[in-house]
Structure 1
Amino acid sequence: MSAFRRFGLPAVGVVFGVMMIFPIYIMVLGSLRSETAVFDFRLLPVEWEWSNFTEAWSESSLPRAILNSLFVSTTVTVVAMIFHAMSGYALARFHFPGRTLVFAWMLSTLMVPFSIIMLPLYLITKDLGMGNSYMGLIVPAIFNAYGIFLFRQFYRDFPKELEEAAYMEGLSLAGTFFRIAFPLSVPIIVPLTIGFFLANWNSYLWPLVITQDEQLWVVQQELAYLVGGGYFTPWNIVLAAAVIAAIPTFILFFAAQRFLVEGIKMSGIK
Structure 2
Amino acid sequence: MKNKRNIGLSIALVILGIAMLFPIYILFMVSLRNEHTIFQSSLITESPSLGSILEALSPDFLRAIGNSFFIAISVTIIAMVLHAMCGYAFAKMQFRGKNAMFTIVISTLMIPISSILVPLFMICKQMGITNTYAGILLPAIFNAYGIFLFRQFYQSFPVELEEAAKLDGCSTYRMFFTIIFPLSKPIIIPLCIAFFLGNWNNYLWPLIVNKKPEYQTVMVYLANMVGGYNTKWNVVIASAMLACLPVFLISLLLQNHLQNSIKMSGIK
- Using the size of structure 1 for normalisation, the TM-score is 0.96
Does residue 74 in structure 1 map to residue 66 in structure 2?
Answer: no
Structure-1 residue corresponding to 2:127:
128
3-state SS of paired residue (2:69): helix
Does residue 36 in structure 1 map to residue 36 in structure 2?
Answer: yes
Structure-1 residue corresponding to 2:171:
172
The answer to whether the 8 A contact 1:65-1:216 is kept is: yes
Q: Deviations over 1:47-105 (max 9, x none)?
A: 212111100003x6110000000001000000000000000000000122221111111
Structure 1 residue runs of 4 or more that deviate by more than 4 Å after TM superposition: none
**Equivalent residues in 2 for 1:1-270, closer than 5 Å:** 2-58=2-58, 61-228=60-227, 230-270=228-268
Mapped partners of 1:82, 1:266: distance in 2: 21
3-state SS of paired residue (2:34): coil
| Percent of aligned pairs with the same amino acid | 49
Q: Which runs of 5+ in 2 are unaligned?
A: none
Mapped partners of 1:2, 1:189: distance in 2: 38
The answer to whether the 8 A contact 1:69-1:201 is kept is: yes
RMSD, aligned CA:
1.2
Mapped partners of 2:109, 2:209: distance in 1: 22
How far off its partner does 1:5 sit? 3.6
3-state SS of paired residue (2:173): helix
How far off its partner does 1:16 sit? 1.3
The answer to whether the 8 A contact 2:34-2:51 is kept is: no
How far off its partner does 1:46 sit? 1.5
Mapped partners of 1:56, 1:198: distance in 2: 22
Q: Deviations over 1:102-150 (max 9, x none)?
A: 1111111111111100000000011111111000010010000000000
Mapped partners of 1:232, 1:155: distance in 2: 55
Mapped partners of 2:198, 2:98: distance in 1: 29
Give the letter aligned to residue 240 of structure 1: A
Mapped partners of 2:135, 2:96: distance in 1: 33
Distance verdict in 2 for CA 1:174–1:4, change over 3 Å:
farther
Corresponding pairs, count? 268
Mapped partners of 2:77, 2:208: distance in 1: 23
Give the letter aligned to residue 11 of structure 2: A
Mapped partners of 1:184, 1:97: distance in 2: 28
How far off its partner does 1:4 sit? 4.3
Distance verdict in 2 for CA 1:4–1:93, change over 3 Å:
farther
How far off its partner does 1:253 sit? 1.8
Give the letter aligned to residue 103 of structure 1: F
Mapped partners of 1:16, 1:160: distance in 2: 43
3-state SS of paired residue (2:226): helix
Mapped partners of 1:244, 1:109: distance in 2: 34
How far off its partner does 1:3 sit? 2.9
